[in-house]
Amino acid sequence: MVVNVKIGDEKRNLSELLDWLNHILQATFSQLEHTCSGAAFCQLMDIIHPGSIDINKVKFTAKENADILDNYGLLREAFSKAQIKKVNILKTLDLLTWFKDLYDHNAAKQKYNPQEGFVEQEVVSLKSSREFKISKKEEQSSRLYSPVQTKYLNQKMLNVKRGSHESFFRSPATMCFIRKYSSSTSPDAGSNFASSKDSLVLGQKCREDITAFCSQTPYCLYLYHGVELEDENKASVLLLGFFDKVTGENKFRLLDVLHPEEETADAICTCIVEMLKKFRIPLINMAIFYSNFPDHEGLLSGLKLLKPEIVSLCGLSDMAGEVFHSGVENMEFSGLILNLITEIYKHFTTFPGALQTLLEDVDCSNLRNILTSQCSLFWRIIQKMTLAWSDLEKYFGSLDTDEKSICRLLGDLKIRLNILFLCHALQPLCDFQENIDRGVSITQLLQDASQLVRFYTTSFLRPKAAEFFLRRGKTSLIQDTVGHLPRGEVEVGKQAADFLLQRSEELTDYLETFHSSIISFYTTVTVNVIERLPFSDSILRNLSLVLSPGKKLEVTGKIVQDLGVCFGVCLGPENVSLLTDEFLEYQFIDGGDTQLADQSMEQYWKTELRIMGRTSSFGKLIISLLALPRTLKKEIIFEQVSLVFEELEKPKYNLSDICVIRYNFSLLIAGVSKLGPGGPDGYTVGEMVWGPIEGFGLWPGLVQSWDSKRPCGSIRKVIFFGNRMLSEVQADDLLPFFSFAKCFCSNSFATVMAYKDAIFNSLQVRQILLLVLCSSCTSMRFAIYSDITVWKNCFGKLNLILPLNITAFCLSCGSTPVEIIHPLFKGMLCSNCKYNFTETLYRYDEDGYQSYCTVCCSGMEVILCGHDNCCRSYCVDCLDILVGEGTFDRLKNVDPWTCYLCAPESSSRALKPRNDWSIRVQEFFANNSAMEFEPHRVYPSIPANQRRPIRVLSLFDGIATGYLVLRDLGFKVEKYVASEVDEESITISMVNHDGKITHVEDVKNITKQHIDKWGPFDLLVGGSPCNDLSIVNPARKGLFEGTGRLFFEYYRLLNVMKPKEDDPQPFFWLFENVVFMQTQVKADICRFLECNPVLVDAVKVSPAHRARYFWGNIPGMNRPIIASQNDKLRLQECLEPGRTAKYEKVRTITTRPNSLKQGTNDAHFPITMNGKDDNIWITEMEKIFGFPKHYTDVKNMGRLQRQRVLGKSWSVPVIRHLLAPLKDYFACDEVPLK
């Protein structure tokens, strides 16, 4: 019984009382007013008289008067239960003193975990931490603690500071899971290894984030059963996945590690529902559910009682094994096949070495159970058995009569036929299982599942029956024998078909039985696959189309409606209509693909979802689709789980806070001088130090003053940065702050948020102190600079300052190691940026400027050079990081701004252009493959103010593709002389370019006098006819006969036009021809032109294959060709409305009319219109080549005539790619800045 206690006469010190209260409650009260809510007194009463107060009713965050009165009402009831008749105390201090005396008298040896009571009732764990009690020893209220006691209190105070909600998540199972699967820590971190993992706990902030996200966002719930923990126990891990439309990322959160009392579907379902309630996560927003629990059907049925529209992926992970087992069991000889395999492997160890290598090496102890559950293993065994069949017959035939039964099984033609069939029929299932094991994305897995269903249905169903079944999805349709293929037409695989053909006489009587057996297998497998898939076949095939921005015009409203019903977005006819309207608005608002070339699908939808708004039904459907798992493989999912730290309150330090700590210059000098730690009396007030925190190693802090104004012996009071925790630490355990390099822990900085905050806070305070000292005492600068030098070595780990040797890092991305010099600026490039640089340096937008930054060849926001004829751009990151913060904003106000390559004298800091950059960039793109030749003459880039318009001679000009590309690129063309003999091509050029092209006679008649008269020229282009060079032409005459000889006309004029060695004016040339030529012909051309060709295929930038060789000296010809946003890559993009492409890419279009048809025999039309096959129209062909619509529509030319001139022309995007580097040499039109 608790007796009444009178208040003692001795006066209690307030500081001692608060120290006692903090010790008992593991709290951090610093002022008496913090206890006025009554919650602390309720906890004390629960300690002194357990059960007198229902601690769950205590309002720990009480601020309103009503809540405070409720707490004191609970306290009054507790006094009554404890038979404390009258407590007439008016002052809080007296009440606290009374409780101290009461505790000392009655309850000093009670066990109590105050963190229990501080946890709100709504977040009690299924397997909470209440089973772990902290045993409290009665201690005197004293300021002197041993170092061991100090460390214990530090850890205790840190735990309380992290918040009581955090303690809920510190269940043993959760911490074991974190320690086993967390990738954020490494063993080489020493003592920080365990502690930093223990800090990875879900706190109140994470709980609020999860609730905020999932209260309005569809999510995917994962339950992984039988997960091995660190202590070799197993548990069920509950995860949450969703798409964050703010950041455009898929995120994962750990909810809990479950240990239900019963491993039943009902028990786990109850646990899931309770956990969602505790996190305030609406069950109505659960769009997708996945679990590997054995009874996942029972688990799902329990969840569907609460929300019927849940897409279940549970049947996918074990589908192959279960389907395989049911299918094989339905075959007539399944038992004999399993017996044969089992008997063979009983003798595996006695097989000759050669025979062992032919067979799969497996564990024979439990072989029969393995064979009936593991599809891939069974398939590999029978696959290898078929290859070693004759060897097995030979081996067992040589044994005693005891093994004759195996010989009979091996000699049974029916068994062998069934095994050959299974080798064929099980392979798709095995491929599907391997994709699951590899962790492929769910969208890809669902497409594979669609292919799996089609494989099996088309193997035994008539085409119309298969199509009807796939459209309707009713399993009863495939069991109707009317739709089955007749005997002999059912797909059995090549090996089985060949075996049947060879042994047709012996197997004649068995054929009908075999037909029935394989029909039974196909039917069973197909039904089982269909039942385990979450969607119908049409949705499986079109799911990825809905998420693909480039294919949104191919999506139908019916697909979106079906998906809306599956994901619970459409609960009624009005919702279906609204969803359809929103989808159509999205589909046709731009009329096509608006995704940027380097933009991910997630980032695309981030923008689109922001436009759609929160209430959009179509937006909700997209978020549901984006929440689909990237993979079902738990190891990959666990790596992506983001365990959010409890976000501690960030303390704000300013100069006034520091001034409260009475420091002077002499005290601060101790931190950087050679007097040792704190001089003879140890560390002084106001000094920055490193002190130990249990489990975290050394932590930055400030030495605080004592109430007595003097240190108590060797004990120092330290307030630690980041968590503002006050501790009393032995001076011997402290280190001066200038020992930063020794004390800083990079692992804790990367994994512990509180430690990261502490580092930044301490550096901010240090900066303020140094500024004060520098302005007041210049004699200290040497010491300060030496201190900063020590810090600099550590800051490299934090990526806070730029290393002095910039050539050790990639200038574009800052990574290491580096591979090659940056051709334009002083610095280096890594291998990834080198490839990116070659792809994008000469890519230009419609306004004529570079698409990407000149420095890093990336960047979303760029500033353009305003100098005449300069087309370069610079991104915000490169300018602000390499030149200085705020540079980009400052330069935006400069009009016109001249870039660093045009005005090298304006460069500063780390962005320094090379003096020889114009030569280096040519060497960067040098083509050194194939035969060795002397390198072409390198022309330095011409300064922008010295560039003049280009003059071009085009041989075999065709329909003026070269002129069209030059104008598209923005070149000023002073003269364009074209040699062409085809009248129709000349007419097309004249009409489209307003007579700006000078047409001359046949190339064979052009002489040096003509060149001198028309010239000088800057560029020679041409491609001689390929008829007699292409190996496709069986009547070809080669390079030295027929039209092949026209190459030498090009070669002759090239030599005439080449400038002398002392002529600095750049001269460029380009020659094109077909790829499919004889090797010797190619070698001869290379020897004459003295260079190797580059192969460029138009299929990368257009819907048609058109591989061509290009010889020349234009810089960067061998760089990769990358499609731009305006390039049409699929045939459908080039078609007129109402027409549908049957192919994404078509083969090379030539002058031959049948080249428009596809297939080896020119049998397939590439387009359908109104349900009928059709060919490519000429206007569509023009788009395929990159020409404007109706470009060849002149002179009443017919379809065949227009195809003939197009078939001989160049692909516009390819020539644009090749000629783009010339913008560094010749003048371009002024274009409006974008």
Bond prior to 1137 in cis (omega within 30° of 0): no
Query: What are the catalytic residues?
Result: 1026
Q: In what order do the strands lie in the sheet with 688-693?
A: 726-730, 715-720, 697-703, 688-693, 735-736
Using CA atoms, how far apart are residues 528 and 475, in angstroms rounded to an integer?
Answer: 9
Name which of 328, 530, 325 is nearest 421 in CA terms: 328
Using CA atoms, how far apart are residues 91 and 1087, in angstroms rounded to an integer?
Answer: 105
- Residue in the block written with tokens 């012909």: 1081
Q: How far is CA 485 from CA 464, 466, 497, 913, in A?
A: 11, 10, 16, 73
- Paired tokens of 853: 């930054």
Helix (H) or strand (E) holding 791: helix 781-798
User: Between vectors from CA 367 to CA 364 and to CA 371, what angle results, nearest 5°?
Assistant: 145
Using CA atoms, how far apart are residues 930 and 1141, in angstroms rounded to an integer?
Answer: 39
- Sign of the Cα torsion 397, 402, 406, 407 reads positive
**Measured in Å, how far apart are the chain's first and last C-alpha atoms?**
85
Bond prior to 147 in cis (omega within 30° of 0): no
- Burial group, residue 80, by CB count within 10 angstroms (0-12, 13-18, 19+): exposed
Amino acid sitting at position 1149: I
**Beta bridge partners of residue 288, listed in sequence order:** 220, 311
Asked if residues 239 and 253 have their Cβ atoms less than 8 Å apart, the reply is yes
Name which of 793, 945, 762, 784 is nearest 869 in CA terms: 945
Bond prior to 1188 in cis (omega within 30° of 0): no
Dihedral, CA of residue 67, residue 69, residue 75 and residue 78, to nearest 10: -90
Give me the count of residues in the chain.
1234
Residue 341 has φ and ψ, to the nearest 5°, of -65, -45
Using CA atoms, how far apart are residues 818 and 807, in angstroms rounded to an integer?
Answer: 8
> How far out from the chain centre does Cα 455 lie?
32
Per DSSP, the three-state class of 235 is: strand
- Burial group, residue 630, by CB count within 10 angstroms (0-12, 13-18, 19+): middle
- Paired tokens of 393: 């017959």
Residue 608 has φ and ψ, to the nearest 5°, of -65, -40
Asked if residues 297 and 152 have their Cβ atoms less than 8 Å apart, the reply is no
Residues 6+ apart with CB under 8 A from 1041: 1028
- Residue in the block written with tokens 């793109």: 925
**171 dihedral zone (left: phi>0; alpha: psi -120 to 50; beta):** beta
Asked if residues 544 and 443 have their Cβ atoms less than 8 Å apart, the reply is yes
- Burial group, residue 495, by CB count within 10 angstroms (0-12, 13-18, 19+): middle
Helix residue ranges, H only, 1124-1196: 1178-1185
Residue 1207 has φ and ψ, to the nearest 5°, of -65, -20
- Tell me 1174's DSSP state: E
Residues 6+ apart with CB under 8 A from 489: none
Pairing of strands 1068-1074, 1019-1022: parallel
